Amino acid sequence: MRSFFTLLPVVLALSLSLISAGCIQSESGTTTPVQHTSNETLVAFVESAVAYVEENGKERALEEFSNPGGLFIQGELYIYAYDFNGTTLAHPINPEKIGINRLNETEDGVGAFLVAMNEAIRNGENFHRIEYINPTHSRTLESKLAYAVQVDDDWWLGSGIYTGPATQGSAG
């Protein structure tokens, strides 16, 4: 398992590169301004969840991540966890999906998102642009910048920032 201190230099370097670039390019090739504070908050939120796993163990952490009134749901920010086979391990917004393999799920593009996120994480990339239902805006489809971290060889956890209206009509 990667320790928080091992990941810290990587997160700082990635954050600095995003800040210095001042933008993130979406899959469609358009440039979207980055909200620096929001990205830093997102990274810190996910890293605090990784630290929680290290301090409390996987099972206790997954219970806390799935708790809709717990420590890891703050407005639009919430932690979700998946294994690399596509099974939902924790999700406070969609608890009915816990224990379900979603890798081949076509509804809302979740399966495609998981395939892309698994590959990105394994390649050391933590950010990914998706479109997903925003639970705080009448469940409307919105653009979202996801950030995820591999916890160990079997699973990862992530969160995301909603950045505006969906543009492609598919979710992740």
Residue 22 confidence (pLDDT) above 50: no
Distance CA 158, CA 129 (A): 13
Q: In this predicted structure, what is the pLDDT of residue 8?
A: 41
pTM of the model: 0.73
Distance CA 72, CA 120 (A): 23
pLDDT tens digit string along 48-80?
999 999 999 999 999 999 999 999 999 889 999
**pLDDT category, 168, cuts 50, 70, 90?**
low
Region 96-101 average pLDDT? 96
Has domain 4-165 been given CATH number 3.30.70.1400?
no
Residue 13 confidence (pLDDT) above 50: no
Residue 28 confidence (pLDDT) above 70: no
- Strands 23-25 and 31-33, how do they pair? antiparallel
**pLDDT category, 4, cuts 50, 70, 90?**
very low
Domain ranges of the chain: 4-165
Q: Which residues contact 70 (CB under 8 A, 6 or more apart)?
A: 64, 92
Residue 31 confidence (pLDDT) above 70: no
Distance CA 103, CA 48 (A): 26
Q: In this predicted structure, what is the pLDDT of residue 166?
A: 82
